[in-house]
Chain A
Amino acid sequence: MNNICVYCELDEGKIADVSFELLSKGRKLAGQLDCKLEALLIGHNLSGFEKQLFQYGTDIVYIADDKRLSPYTTFPHTSIIVNLFRETKPQIGLMGATTIGRDLGPRVSSALASGLTADCTELEIGDHEEKKSNKIYKNLLYQIRPAFGGNIIATIINPEHKPQMATVREGVMKKEPVTDYREGKMIILDVKKYLDDTDFAVKIIDRHIEKSRINIKNSPVIVSGGYGVGSADNFNLLFDLASLIGGEVGASRAAVDAGFTDRARQVGQTGVTVRPKLYIACGISGQIQHLAGMQESKIIISVNTDPNAPINKIANYVIHGRIETVLPKMIKYYKANTK
């Protein structure tokens, strides 16, 4: 009882990376709290999936398997989680900050009257002293995220309400299978007990999912552009350099909002978190939400006309200059000096 439960989501029949990442984080938190790590998997044709979850140190896997549970719709998944959580009373509930998690999380938190913090960039365990009531809360979940305006980081807690719920974007936590594989316990839920027919009021008529998506997360090199790039046309320079040196193109939120490039390329708290070998930030000033998504890059180069751009502080190299001048020079040198 009072364990950590991760809602594991399916992405076209496979367990999503974000779920493995959350289990990896959950494993550590469970170690600190001396409680068990649970995974909840809801979908169809799930036999054998539990083994993948045990690879991340899951102690208990709950499976809800029914044809009607795939693909995801709001009501049935909500009902299963809410009813299961009422029985098992986890102290912490985690899910991905994906279209599914962001549809499901608030619905679940509202039904359970528990707090939910979106898009956390770190999760820790710690105590809290309520000065007014002189009450001490032990071992709360610190839900840490950049807050409004971006140059502050807020630590959010839910002292009185369980489960403490949080969503985390894909790529923020590291996916770390455990070295000592242990077969945990699997519990197959009696789906009928958790659902009724009214849960299927919303029907999926049609779905088109694109197979190949832009995947900047695993690219070793990212050439990323901000508002300072100036236009979608200028972004082509970034694409030229990226394809030449074997990288992908990323972007800041400002560049995406301005329509310079695809939202799938957005790096940062509300986009993708990346840890490439090389991150070339072009015309990116470096709001905290952006830095949070790329600060662990091994080498950071900032190309900027503003010598005081905040990103320069975390850059290994700052090139003071215009994109239109600097990038063609990089391209030229690379072409001339590699085979």
Chain B
Amino acid sequence: MKPFKIIALAKQVPDTRNVGKDAMKEDGTVNRSVLPAIFNPEDLHALEQALLIRDKFPGSTVTILTMGPVRASEILREGLFRGADEGILLTDRAFAGSDTLATSYALACAIRKINGFDIIICGRQAIDGDTAQVGPQVAEKLNISQITYAEEILAIDKKTIRVKRRLERGIETVEGPLPILITVTGTAPRCRPRNSRQMMKFKHSKSASERSEKDEEYLNLINDRPYLNITEWNVNDIECDRSLLGLGGSPTKVKKVDSISFQTKETKTMNDKDEDINSLMKELIVNHTIG
């Protein structure tokens, strides 16, 4: 059986699931700096599916690709600790302000630079936007098939892949041709934890922007152990039409943001005393809201 080349897409996101009180500034905007930056949860589920294929077919490789600021190298290391073979960081100011279409274009250009692939796999959506658009858009840009909402990869051979999809109220088994892009839902198995051997191996891995060119000791280390180098590409490293990148390449624009003012109501506040609750229930029954 021939090995598979798998690209796992990942995004570093602010942990919007654990937004504390200090996460909001007084002007009503989000204080990103206090939110921890994490590996987007569904991308981790996707990474696990990639690693499962790799385990089954020796010689297969899993490359994690992320686009983001230099700090996003953190999730590449996280992925390496959990078993990925290689990480690629796509970072440049030219990508700033990208909407989903400009993001998927940049990712597709980076994927073309990677030497071939059989499967691209990523989470269904990222928790900071919930759009679920980038996966299918990357597939369209690369003109390959897509299978979204995947929960389990059931079978794979050199030409086809069979996948179980989780729909709103049911499941569907589909078969598609390789190469293909697959998006994975949070109902898929969780990603394996960090592996101590992988952690030892990749502990000192860094992207070019993270290391100082003056640190000779580290440069020597990288010479001995080239796998410690996290590949870093900027806009000059990929073949692309710059007018399609970043804010300028994004068809959607934010016209304005408003703080929300919900219609506040005249509120009656009460305690959990029997008479309070009883009188409220009585009112609801009498006016036929319930009963």
A residues with a Cβ closer than 8 A to B are 71, 73-75, 78, 98-99, 102-103, 105-107, 109-111, 113-119, 128, 142-143, 146-161, 201-210, 213, 221, 245-247, 254, 257, 264, 270, 277-278, 287-288, 291, 295, 298-301, 307, 312-322, 325-326, 329-330, 333-334, 337-338
Binds A, one of B3-11, B60-68, B96-104, B203-211: B96-104
B267 neighbours in A (Cβ, 8 Å): 312-313, 315-318
Chain B, 3-21, CB within 8 A of any chain A CB: 14, 16-17, 19
Is B101 a contact of A110 with CB atoms below 8 Å?
yes
Assuming the contacts A317-B267, A337-B285, asked whether A201 and B145 have C-beta atoms less than 8 A apart, the reply is yes
Q: With CB as the reference atom, state the residue of chain A lying closest to B13.
A: A148
Q: Of B175, B250, B262, which is in contact with the most chain A CB atoms at under 10 Å from its CB?
A: B262
CB < 8 Å neighbour of A318 from B104, B132, B139, B270: B270
Is B262 a contact of A206 with CB atoms below 8 Å?
no
Considering the complex of A and B, which 8 residue pairs feature the smallest CB-CB distances, nearest first? Answer: A321-B272, A115-B251, A149-B30, A209-B170, A115-B252, A106-B133, A110-B140, A161-B251
Is A154 a contact of B133 with CB atoms below 8 Å?
no
Assuming the contacts A202-B174, A246-B290, asked whether A330 and B277 have C-beta atoms less than 8 A apart, the reply is yes
A315 neighbours in B (Cβ, 8 Å): 265, 267
Identify 21 residue pairs between A and B in the complex whose beta-carbon atoms are under 8 Å apart, listed by A's number: A98-B168, A102-B132, A105-B136, A106-B104, A106-B131, A106-B132, A106-B135, A111-B140, A148-B30, A149-B29, A151-B28, A152-B30, A155-B254, A156-B252, A158-B253, A205-B175, A207-B173, A287-B19, A319-B270, A333-B281, A334-B291
Chain B, 90-144, CB within 8 A of any chain A CB: 99-101, 104, 128-137, 139-141
Give chain B's interface residue range (CB within 8 Å of chain A). Answer: 35 or more
CB < 8 Å neighbour of A322 from B259, B272, B285: B272
Assuming the contacts A110-B101, A115-B250, asked whether A313 and B145 have C-beta atoms less than 8 A apart, the reply is no
Type the 1/0 row for B171-185, where 1 means its CB is closer than 8 Å to any CB of A.
111111100000000
B147 within 8 A of A: yes
Is B141 a contact of A110 with CB atoms below 8 Å?
yes
Q: With CB as the reference atom, state the residue of chain B lying closest to A206.
A: B173
CB < 8 Å neighbour of A202 from B176, B259, B268: B176
Is A300 a contact of B265 with CB atoms below 8 Å?
yes
Is B290 a contact of A221 with CB atoms below 8 Å?
yes
Give the CA-CA distance A27 to B253 in the complex, in Å. Answer: 25
Is A156 a contact of B132 with CB atoms below 8 Å?
no
Is B260 a contact of A153 with CB atoms below 8 Å?
yes
CB < 8 Å neighbour of A326 from B17, B149, B272: B272
B264 within 8 A of A: yes
A257 neighbours in B (Cβ, 8 Å): 17
Is A102 a contact of B255 with CB atoms below 8 Å?
no
Is A299 a contact of B251 with CB atoms below 8 Å?
no
Assuming the contacts A270-B130, A326-B277, asked whether A204 and B285 have C-beta atoms less than 8 A apart, the reply is no
State how many angstroms separate the Cβ of B279 from the closest Cβ of chain A. Answer: 9
State how many angstroms separate the Cβ of A205 from the closest Cβ of chain B. Answer: 4
Assuming the contacts A208-B171, A277-B289, asked whether A109 and B257 have C-beta atoms less than 8 A apart, the reply is no
A316 neighbours in B (Cβ, 8 Å): 265-268
Assuming the contacts A301-B280, A330-B281, asked whether A295 and B271 have C-beta atoms less than 8 A apart, the reply is no
Is A119 a contact of B130 with CB atoms below 8 Å?
yes
Chief secondary structure at chain B's binding surface: mixed
B167 within 8 A of A: yes
Give the CA-CA distance A301 to B251 in the complex, in Å. Answer: 42
B137 neighbours in A (Cβ, 8 Å): 106-107, 109-110
A116 neighbours in B (Cβ, 8 Å): 100-101, 131, 133, 252
Is B131 a contact of A118 with CB atoms below 8 Å?
yes
Is B259 a contact of A151 with CB atoms below 8 Å?
yes
State how many angstroms separate the Cβ of A83 from the closest Cβ of chain B. Answer: 14
Besides A110-B136, A155-B254, A201-B145, 4 other A-B contacts (C-beta < 8 A): A106-B133, A333-B277, A338-B285, A338-B291
Is B270 a contact of A203 with CB atoms below 8 Å?
no
A314 neighbours in B (Cβ, 8 Å): 262-265
State how many angstroms separate the Cβ of B124 from the closest Cβ of chain A. Answer: 8
CB < 8 Å neighbour of B289 from A146, A148, A151, A278: A278
B237 within 8 A of A: no
Give the CA-CA distance A103 to B276 in the complex, in Å. Answer: 49
B256 within 8 A of A: yes
B213 within 8 A of A: no
Assuming the contacts A313-B262, A321-B272, A322-B272, asked whether A202 and B175 have C-beta atoms less than 8 A apart, the reply is yes
Give the CA-CA distance A77 to B285 in the complex, in Å. Answer: 50
Is A74 a contact of B146 with CB atoms below 8 Å?
yes
CB < 8 Å neighbour of A154 from B147, B250, B257, B280: B257
Give the CA-CA distance A201 to B159 in the complex, in Å. Answer: 11
Q: With CB as the reference atom, state the residue of chain A lying closest to B124.
A: A102
B23 within 8 A of A: yes
Is B101 a contact of A202 with CB atoms below 8 Å?
no
State how many angstroms separate the Cβ of B92 from the closest Cβ of chain A. Answer: 21
Is A148 a contact of B254 with CB atoms below 8 Å?
no
Give the CA-CA distance A329 to B281 in the complex, in Å. Answer: 10
Is A115 a contact of B130 with CB atoms below 8 Å?
no
B269 within 8 A of A: yes
Give the CA-CA distance A291 to B285 in the complex, in Å. Answer: 25
State how many angstroms separate the Cβ of B67 from the closest Cβ of chain A. Answer: 16
Give the CA-CA distance A334 to B281 in the complex, in Å. Answer: 7
State how many angstroms separate the Cβ of A82 from the closest Cβ of chain B. Answer: 9
CB < 8 Å neighbour of A209 from B99, B133, B167: B167
State how many angstroms separate the Cβ of A18 from the closest Cβ of chain B. Answer: 11
